[in-house]
A and B are shown apart, each in its own frame.
Chain A
Amino acid sequence: MNPRRILAIAYKETLQVWRDPRSLAIALLMPLMQMVLLGYGISLDIKHVPLCLYDQENSQTSREMLRDFTASGWFKTAAILDSNRAVRAAMDNATCIGALVIPVNFSRVLAQTGQAQVQAVFDGTDANTTNIATGYAQGVIAQTAATFARRWDAQHGLRPPTAGSINLQSRVWYNETLDSRNFIIPGVVAIILALVGAQLTSLTVAREWERGTMEQLISTPVTSTELLIGKLSPYFLIGLLDAAFCLLTAAFWFHVPFRGSVLTLIFTTALFGIVVMGIGYLLSVRIHNQLGASQIALMLTMLPIAMLSGYTFPLDQMPAAIRAISFLVYARYYVTLLRDEFLKGSSLTEMASSIAALLAYAVAVLWLAARAFRKRLE
């Protein structure tokens, strides 16, 4: 291995990236774009669900109930309706995704029996949103019901039962505000690093084959290890800079709490960078065509990372077979580590197994990549 040859290749590669608008765009614009798109675009929290109200009774009690709904912050009033047909029409044309119907004898029944029913209708097309909205509605109703119950008890001279009631004191750890952004953004960093790293490196060797410069290069004494190191090192630096940009944005712009060690973060990010770039390089060596290599790199990085890294879709909810496959997805270890470092502030021993898995991947990919390149034309 000769440092001068590695340096010559690294310098040449840097010049080429600098002069190639496509590579430059991937290196500089993509992280920014993705961070904005994914950082702002993806949120699992639902606020201001458009809700239609159909109050058949229009009493003081029923209005009080509706007020509780709008005051909760989860719902906003999309329209106030006066017939069942209007409710159907509003749901059909997506004016609202839910409707609250208060029956005509609501307050009378409540006053007489201490129990009453309201009807909530939801658009089930988007099951996820509806699930969450139903949960919110139950929460609001439970609160209102409790208020009504206390009042009813007082009016009827009953004291609230002092025994046999269990009070839930819930506290959330790590992501105290239960903001889904805190959960998603560390994963976004992994997506961006994989995208940029594999895309850039998938072009690097294929470009030489495509332009015919490879024939000259392999007639020189350069070795395949020198080529690997020389070609990857500039991209590795670019990848680390991009990662730093994304991580800083996550911490200081999106205010994702950071509780781990910066050193561990840098180390694990470097490992992940080596894995994705090694994969891109391997593809580039095997597929002598820039477009083909970058397409396959996209498939091999984005798809499994988006689906199986646990970045948005929780892995523990998946069927066992798919969860087993996810253990092969190198990104899941990095996504786990990112969440450990950002939200949990886990210790090294707690993260050891994930780090070891990532390290094993990095070593394996580098080993394959160094051997993949053959200095022959066939």
Chain B
Amino acid sequence: MNIAPAVIAKGLTKKFGTFTAVDHLDLEIAKGEVAGFIGPNGAGKSTTIRLLCGLLRPTSGSASVAGYDIVRQPDIVRLHIGYMSQKFSLYGDLTVHENLRFFAGIYQVPRQQIPERIAFAVSMAGLEGREGALVRTLAGGWKQRLALGCAILHRPPVLFLDEPTSGVEPEARRRFWDLIHTLAADGVTILVSTHYMDEAEYCNRIALIDAGKLIALGSPGELRRHELGGQLFELECATLGATLAAVRQAPGVIEAAIFADKLHVLLRAGTSGAALLARLAAQGMEAGPIRAILPSLEDVFVQLVSRRQEAGP
């Protein structure tokens, strides 16, 4: 069995004129992994996926997918991948069955296997009985699942999904992620981008991307525990603004920010929450209680991005 990573990127860079969309990205995704690309709009997620699919030519750096070089062997790469673009891109004027039939032909699915694969895709998308419906008449969730069905007709070992759940209602999003995990259990490597932070939790590994740069890589648990370089506390207080100012002056505080009606305070390891409370009380502030919490991925992301911005370009 081949245990080489399914996707390898080395110094992958893409410039559009003077704008650098992807900036020296290094990445390895293991076989059968569900890897998430997380980042704000315009962070370079789509560009990276398009580079890996051979739809764009990198400005510098290299990458391989399923063992094939994306610049020198783009057509072999395309045989081994499934791709779902951010914008829905099936044929609206063809029926569900006609779309599936078209992609089965394009991907040269063996003839005798076509009925079975199409039946599988239809049932996966929950479109039984609607095979004859024109695709443009389908609701968003069905369209997305059908697009996934088309992308996996040829059983590709690597699947690229670019914001597959954007604009889809929560129930349909959950169903979609169930499908992704079913595929991963069969050994398919999946790279999926999203800007929904809650979806990041469904991934085995997350790549946080901002302004074309990879800023953190790890499992959701790893990122939450280690990336911040300290312990996160949640502090209740009466006057948010004044307390925030005071907290920022306190020793051992790496970062503090308002989260809804509370403060989130990141303390250097070895600094205790009780000490902070005592200091605030000495300054005559009404604050407390304080308790250690596990940061959400959003916390981690916001922290890492703001630190990068402070560090300057």
Interface residues of chain A, those whose CB is within 8 Å of chain B, are 2, 4-5, 7-9, 11-12, 15-16, 19-20, 211-223, 375-378
Contact = CB atoms under 8 A, between A and B. Distances in A.
Given A219-B81, A376-B55, A12 B108 contact: no
B72 to A, nearest CB: 14
B57 A376 contact: yes
Contact of A377 (B55, B78, B92, B108): B55
Interface string B86-108: 01111111100010011111111
Contacts of B83: 216, 219
Given A15-B98, A218-B55, A221-B79, A213 B108 contact: no
Contact of A220 (B50, B98, B101, B103): B103
A212 B88 contact: yes
A84 to B, nearest CB: 69
Contacts of B150: 216
A215 B89 contact: yes
Given A16-B93, A219-B55, A377-B50, A8 B102 contact: yes
B222 interface: no
B55 A211 contact: no
Given A377-B56, A378-B57, A215 B107 contact: no
24 contacts: A2-B108, A8-B104, A11-B102, A11-B105, A12-B91, A12-B102, A16-B91, A19-B93, A212-B87, A212-B88, A215-B55, A215-B85, A216-B85, A216-B89, A219-B55, A219-B85, A220-B106, A221-B79, A221-B107, A221-B108, A375-B55, A376-B56, A377-B50, A377-B56
A222 B83 CA distance: 14
Interface of B: 50, 53-57, 74-75, 78-79, 81, 83, 85, 87-94, 98, 101-108, 147, 150
Contacts of A223: 75
B90 A213 contact: yes
Contacts of A376: 55-57
Contact of A378 (B56, B101, B108): B56
Contact of A219 (B53, B93, B105): B53
A11 B105 CA distance: 10
Contact of B105 (A7, A211, A213, A215): A7
Nearest to A226: B106
A376 B56 CA distance: 6
Contacts of A2: 108
Contact of B107 (A9, A12, A212, A220): A220
A215 B85 CA distance: 7
Contacts of B74: 375
Is the contact region of chain A dominated by helix, strand, or loop, or is it mixed?
helix
B90 A221 contact: no
Which 8 A-B pairs have CB atoms at the shortest separation, nearest pair first? A8-B105, A219-B83, A216-B89, A215-B85, A212-B87, A221-B78, A212-B89, A12-B102
Contacts of B78: 219-221
A12 B94 contact: yes
A362 to B, nearest CB: 27
B94 A16 contact: yes
Given A7-B105, A12-B102, 14 more contacts: A2-B108, A9-B105, A12-B91, A16-B91, A16-B94, A211-B91, A214-B89, A216-B83, A217-B106, A219-B53, A221-B75, A221-B79, A377-B56, A378-B57
Nearest to B80: A221
A376 B47 CA distance: 12
Contacts of A218: 55
Contacts of A375: 54-55, 74
Nearest to A6: B105
Nearest to B111: A4
Contacts of B103: 220
A2 B103 CA distance: 14
B97 to A, nearest CB: 11
A221 B54 CA distance: 11
Contacts of B90: 213, 216
A169 B75 CA distance: 73
Contacts of B50: 377
A205 B87 CA distance: 18
Contacts of B55: 215, 218-219, 375-377
A2 B108 CA distance: 9
Nearest to A7: B105
A15 B92 CA distance: 12
A12 B89 contact: no
A216 B92 CA distance: 13
A212 B89 CA distance: 5
A19 B94 CA distance: 9
Contacts of B107: 220-221
Contact of B91 (A4, A213, A215, A377): A213
B152 to A, nearest CB: 13
Nearest to A218: B55
A211 B92 CA distance: 9
A209 to B, nearest CB: 11
A5 B106 contact: yes
Contact of A4 (B87, B92, B105): B105
Contacts of B98: 12, 15
A8 B93 contact: no
Contacts of B53: 219
A377 to B, nearest CB: 5
A212 B147 CA distance: 13
Contacts of A217: 106
Nearest to A216: B89
A20 B136 CA distance: 14
Which one of B83, B89, B108 has the greatest number of beta carbons of chain A within 10 Å?
A: B89
